[in-house]
Amino acid sequence: MAPLAGERRAELVTSLGAVRARIANACIEAGRDPHSVTLIAVTKTYPAADVATLATLGVLDIGESRDQEAAAKVAEVAEAQGHGAADERGPSLRWHFVGRLQSRKARSVATYAHAVHSVDRPELIGQLAAAVTRAGRGRLDVFVQVSLDGDPARGGVAGGGVLALADVVAARAQLRLRGVMAIAPMAAEPHRAFAELAAASAQLRVAHPEADAISAGMSVDLEAAITHGSTHVRVGTALLGRRSQVFG
Ligand SMILES: *Cc1c(COP(=O)(O)O)cnc(C)c1O
> What is the per-residue pLDDT across 87-117, written as a single tens digit (0 to 9) for each?
566 679 999 999 999 999 999 999 999 999 9
Give the ranges where 113-221 is alpha helix by DSSP (H).
122-135, 162-170, 190-207
Domain 5-240 has CATH 3.20.20.10: yes
In the prediction, which pLDDT does 248 show?
46
End-to-end CA distance of the chain: 26
Any atom of ligand 1 within 6 Å of the Cβ of 62: no
Which 3 state secondary structure label does DSSP give 56? helix
User: What spacing in Å lies between the alpha carbon of 85 and ligand 1's midpoint?
Assistant: 35
Whose alpha carbon is nearest atom 11 of ligand 1? 234
Q: In which residue ranges of the chain is pLDDT below 70? A: 1-2, 83-90, 150, 245-248
157 DSSP β-pair partners: 146
In the prediction, which pLDDT does 85 show?
61
Report which residue type is found at 235.
Answer: V
Any atom of ligand 1 within 6 Å of the Cβ of 42: yes
Exposed, middle or buried: residue 108 (CB in 10 Å: 0-12, 13-18, 19+)?
Answer: middle
| Domain layout of the chain by residue ranges | 5-240
Quick one: which atom of ligand 1 is closest to the CA of 44? 1
